[in-house]
Structure 1
Amino acid sequence: MAIPEELMIDIFSRLPAKSVGRFRCLSKLWREILSTPEFIKSHLNLQTNPQQNLLLVAALNTIHTISDVKNGTVSRKIQLIDEWEEAIGSCDGLVLLLNEKSEKILVNPITLQKEKIPDPPLALNKTESHSMHGFGYDGSIDDYKIVVVSYYDTDEYYPDNFDTFVDVYCVKKGVWKRVDNSPYDLSSARRCTGACVSGAVHWLAPSKKQGDYRSVIAAFDLAREVFDEIPVPNDVSMDSGCYQLVVLGGCLCITDAGRSLHQDNNKTDIWIMHEYGMAESWTKFTIDCGYEWSMLKPLCYIGDEEVVLICEGGEVLLVYNLKEKSLKNMVVDGASAYVLDGCVFVESLLSPCFGAP
């Protein structure tokens, strides 16, 4: 007796993305059923506890992925023709990458489908400006959005223009639009990638609203397309550190990436906002890097006690044990020890080329 199609779809929706990909190869009928937009969305929604994966931009600007993150693991080099410089972020299994030409590519590391994102029609001249990026999901319209914040990198020869322009790209619609300029001095955000949490992309920057240029977290709400403010820890000041925002375990995280540059020791402070928007939920831990490593960027947790970090001074992966307060190299077979950047992603069947399975 044949299995009802509804039951078959429910079963397949609970399998890992790689397994579904193999089943697609068994018959034309299964490929059609397992490639519909409805199935792909159902598969994504049913992954209640998705496996954590890492994407790394490694030596020679190559891309590697790691499944089942743990200390002593194996990576897989994926064939993406280009020289990559930055992993901007991930959402629902899609990763936004930046290459050496500052071109944006949206890719699914599991299916290896990719899509080049066009530049905004009002983009500033790349030789006279700088841009920062963010990537996330807008549930109000069921679309993924790329945010580009740009400003003139001015000197005496360039326009006396200190505006910060904001362009938003709706991935499914394939449309750019310019929204209101940022009320924050994002040129002071250390040219960092935006951290996407709770439907907003975040940058740490001085506020121009009150005229006192106090440090705030500028949160660009993807649905409303306006900036809000998120409180920073009391001991964070743009004048006394080299801070950047990242996402760690689904929480907003601040790291003092340059503490070793302005203090006599090589320690890195890391703050985590455990309840989004709640100032009292910030907690801090400090990593003593010693003299071998500095400028640490958190990537993900291993279990409850260990954090994987990129050492931006030595470009290696490290594991910090929160309980033992110990730091060690992370052993990764198949990838160079020289790591430029990275991000966490989940397995999915979602295509960056919307309209194609």
Structure 2
Amino acid sequence: MATSPTDLGNTVALPCPSLPDDVIMDIFARLPAKFVGRCRYLSRAWAATLSSDDFADRHHHLANHRHSPRVFFLHHSSRDGPLMHVWSPQDSPNGAPSTLYVPKAANAERALRIATLVCRGLAIFQTPCTEINYLCNPSSGQMAALPEHEKMFWYQDDVLGRHYTSLGLGYDAHTKKHKVVCVYYGGPRCDSEGFPRFAGCDLYVVNSNGRWRLIQGKPPAWVRPNMASIFAQGQVYWLADRKINIKPAEMVIVSFSLANHTFGTLPPPLGMDKDIRSLPKHHLTKLNEHLCFVSHNVSNSFYDIWLLPEHEERVWNLHCRLDMSKVSPDMTNRFVKWPNPLVTIDNGSRILLVRPRSLAHENNYSRMCAYDPMTGDVDDMFNGSDMVYDSITSTTDAAVYEESIVSPR
């Protein structure tokens, strides 16, 4: 039997075992974003590697490989200021979301709303009635104000004109950069045909140390104010009115290509384009990486969820119908009245639904459920653990997010 140095009476230090660099990076790529950020301070070499675009892509793929949805809820407490609750089936086994404080950036003590859905780790939060907008990474908790924009103004509509801006956020896979799109309207309301008379678009590349730059061309329709934009398949989307004050009214979807920096239009699902009076009952979201159109039929009490498989084909597929007649009245009022679909779970058999912020605010709690379109069964994903706020709180937003080490700064 072999003898060790200790057996011979010697005090020889054994070499410290080490892992190959590629194994270490593979471990880092599976860690939550917060832990990866801390590891950057342990070594200059690690700091360089963990900050590279190649590692960011690797981390985004492997850290989210479990396909476990993550949801954050953003609201404003009169006592604590901006708060963010995060939830996932794996990290919240008892159903109760965990609470994070939103970083106190300049003027961030005001109420925040989600201006864009999360795009590859980043989202834009907006402070209503101000010109301040923030890029935020929900998985790391980092937040930074966007550069000032001279045309950034909050929505106002009066007899003199229609002035507002709307933001979009996307990811350019070719340049591996996030881009912020600012669509703005101002001046006289419209021309003789109902189209925007004064409108434009500026672009900002995140982490480029640059400024907003003018994009040639203008939005072809009036994007709806106060509605979150959607990024899917290389395009930023807004729900819009093709023209105003001119009949017949027409609903349209405005798109903006992150690769070509050009606008386009897309028709909504068949029969919805002339349903302009019902526009508040329709909204855009993203479901499983596809653009999603949700329509509400009031008379028949059902919601249709349409998906756009390919942008170029411009053909909508009816994914499923949420039939409220299958759901008990108590469950309908508590969970699925005016629902917003977030993501599918259980191999696509069920859909996570969250109540929109206006209804969640009425009872000072947020609700999320899993809905089975085949049976109408509804399950409370919080297991009765309400996120109860104080008596004076602003509206609440919710969105799906993923682990990402991308910095908003």
Common topology (TM > 0.5): yes
Secondary structure class of the residue paired with 1:90: coil
Equivalent AA in structure 2 for residue 331 of structure 1: F
Aligned to 2:255: 219
Aligned to 2:373: 322
Aligned to 1:64: 85
Deviations 1:48-77 (A, max 9, x none): 625421111135252211133789623121
Equivalent AA in structure 2 for residue 228 of structure 1: G
Aligned to 2:126: 98
Q: Say whether residues 1:254 and 2:293 are aligned partners.
A: yes
- Tell me how far apart the structure 2 counterparts of residues 53 and 84 of structure 1 sit (CA, whole Å): 23
Equivalent AA in structure 2 for residue 236 of structure 1: M
Q: Say whether residues 1:306 and 2:331 are aligned partners.
A: no
Q: CA RMSD in A?
A: 3.4
Q: Say whether residues 1:37 and 2:59 are aligned partners.
A: no
Q: Is the CA contact (8 Å cut-off) linking 1:40 and 1:349 kept in structure 2?
A: yes
Q: Say whether residues 1:140 and 2:174 are aligned partners.
A: yes
Q: Say whether residues 1:113 and 2:142 are aligned partners.
A: yes
Unmatched 5+ stretches in structure 2: 1-16, 158-162, 190-194, 361-365
Q: Say whether residues 1:185 and 2:231 are aligned partners.
A: no
- Tell me how far apart the structure 2 counterparts of residues 106 and 272 of structure 1 sit (CA, whole Å): 27
Among 328, 352, 355, the alignment partner of 2:408 is 352
| Post-superposition offset of 1:222 | 1.2
- Tell me how far apart the structure 1 counterparts of residues 169 and 123 of structure 2 sit (CA, whole Å): 9
Secondary structure class of the residue paired with 1:323: coil
| Post-superposition offset of 1:30 | 7.8
- Tell me how far apart the structure 1 counterparts of residues 20 and 49 of structure 2 sit (CA, whole Å): 14
Q: Is the CA contact (8 Å cut-off) linking 1:169 and 1:175 kept in structure 2?
A: yes
Larger Rg: 2
Equivalent AA in structure 1 for residue 309 of structure 2: H
| Post-superposition offset of 1:201 | 0.7
Q: Say whether residues 1:74 and 2:126 are aligned partners.
A: no
| Post-superposition offset of 1:190 | 5.6
Q: Is the CA contact (8 Å cut-off) linking 2:164 and 2:225 kept in structure 1?
A: no
| Post-superposition offset of 1:331 | 1.9
Change (3 A) 1:71 1:231: farther
- Tell me how far apart the structure 2 counterparts of residues 167 and 323 of structure 1 sit (CA, whole Å): 45
Q: Is the CA contact (8 Å cut-off) linking 1:92 and 1:348 kept in structure 2?
A: yes
| Post-superposition offset of 1:133 | 1.8
Report the TM-score, using the length of structure 2 for normalisation: 0.71
Flag as ranges the 4+ runs of structure 1 deviating above 4 A.
Answer: 21-25, 27-31, 45-48, 69-72, 124-128, 211-214
- Tell me how far apart the structure 1 counterparts of residues 154 and 309 of structure 2 sit (CA, whole Å): 39
Secondary structure class of the residue paired with 1:236: coil
Paired residue total: 341
- Tell me how far apart the structure 2 counterparts of residues 194 and 206 of structure 1 sit (CA, whole Å): 15
Unmatched 5+ stretches in structure 1: none
